[in-house]
Amino acid sequence: MRLWLKDSERRPDPAPVATDDRLPVLIGTAVWLVALLIGLLWYREMMIDAGIQWWLLTCAIGIGLGLLGLIYTNRRR
Protein backbone atom coordinates (compact mmCIF):
# COMPACT_ATOMS: atom_id res chain seq x y z
CA MET A 1 0.00 0.00 0.00
CA ARG A 2 1.35 3.40 -0.95
CA LEU A 3 0.71 6.59 0.96
CA TRP A 4 1.04 8.98 -1.97
CA LEU A 5 -0.45 8.75 -5.44
CA LYS A 6 0.53 10.68 -8.50
CA ASP A 7 -2.11 13.04 -9.85
CA SER A 8 -2.44 10.88 -12.95
CA GLU A 9 -3.27 7.82 -10.78
CA ARG A 10 -5.80 9.57 -8.58
CA ARG A 11 -9.52 9.16 -9.24
CA PRO A 12 -11.65 12.34 -9.34
CA ASP A 13 -13.45 13.43 -6.18
CA PRO A 14 -17.12 12.42 -6.01
CA ALA A 15 -19.76 15.12 -6.35
CA PRO A 16 -21.15 16.36 -3.02
CA VAL A 17 -24.48 14.86 -2.00
CA ALA A 18 -27.37 17.31 -1.82
CA THR A 19 -29.05 17.00 1.58
CA ASP A 20 -31.79 18.87 3.40
CA ASP A 21 -30.39 19.53 6.87
CA ARG A 22 -33.39 21.47 8.17
CA LEU A 23 -35.22 18.45 9.60
CA PRO A 24 -32.40 17.23 11.91
CA VAL A 25 -31.80 20.79 13.13
CA LEU A 26 -35.51 21.26 13.75
CA ILE A 27 -35.77 17.97 15.65
CA GLY A 28 -32.76 18.87 17.81
CA THR A 29 -34.24 22.28 18.59
CA ALA A 30 -37.56 20.67 19.51
CA VAL A 31 -35.79 18.25 21.87
CA TRP A 32 -34.11 21.19 23.64
CA LEU A 33 -37.50 22.93 23.88
CA VAL A 34 -39.12 19.85 25.43
CA ALA A 35 -36.24 19.54 27.92
CA LEU A 36 -36.65 23.21 28.89
CA LEU A 37 -40.40 22.87 29.36
CA ILE A 38 -40.00 19.73 31.48
CA GLY A 39 -37.37 21.47 33.59
CA LEU A 40 -39.50 24.57 34.05
CA LEU A 41 -42.81 22.86 34.72
CA TRP A 42 -41.79 19.94 36.95
CA TYR A 43 -38.25 20.32 38.25
CA ARG A 44 -37.63 24.07 38.58
CA GLU A 45 -37.76 24.27 42.38
CA MET A 46 -35.66 21.13 42.78
CA MET A 47 -33.01 22.54 40.42
CA ILE A 48 -32.91 25.85 42.26
CA ASP A 49 -32.59 24.09 45.64
CA ALA A 50 -29.80 21.85 44.29
CA GLY A 51 -28.02 24.78 42.62
CA ILE A 52 -28.26 23.31 39.13
CA GLN A 53 -30.54 25.89 37.51
CA TRP A 54 -27.85 26.31 34.87
CA TRP A 55 -29.37 23.22 33.23
CA LEU A 56 -32.30 25.42 32.20
CA LEU A 57 -29.89 27.93 30.72
CA THR A 58 -28.23 25.11 28.80
CA CYS A 59 -31.59 24.21 27.27
CA ALA A 60 -32.26 27.85 26.34
CA ILE A 61 -28.84 28.13 24.70
CA GLY A 62 -29.52 24.89 22.80
CA ILE A 63 -32.77 26.38 21.48
CA GLY A 64 -30.98 29.58 20.45
CA LEU A 65 -28.25 27.68 18.63
CA GLY A 66 -30.87 25.52 16.95
CA LEU A 67 -32.67 28.62 15.68
CA LEU A 68 -29.39 29.95 14.33
CA GLY A 69 -28.85 26.59 12.67
CA LEU A 70 -32.27 26.81 11.03
CA ILE A 71 -31.47 30.27 9.69
CA TYR A 72 -28.15 29.01 8.36
CA THR A 73 -29.63 25.93 6.69
CA ASN A 74 -32.46 27.95 5.12
CA ARG A 75 -29.99 30.44 3.64
CA ARG A 76 -27.76 27.66 2.35
CA ARG A 77 -30.61 25.96 0.56
pLDDT digit string, tens, across residues 32-53: 999 999 999 988 888 888 888 8
The predicted structure's pLDDT at residue 1 = 63
Tell me how far apart the alpha carbons of residues 8 and 65 are, in angstroms, rounded to a whole number: 44
State the number of CA atoms in the 13 A half-sphere of 30 facing the CB. 6
Q: What is the DSSP letter of 43?
A: S
CB 60 within 8 Å of CB 36? yes
Q: Which residues of the chain fall below pLDDT 50?
A: none
pLDDT of residue 11: 85
Residue 63 confidence (pLDDT): 98
User: For the chain, which residues make up each domain, given as ranges?
Assistant: 22-76
Helix axes 54-76, 22-41, angle to 10 degrees: 160
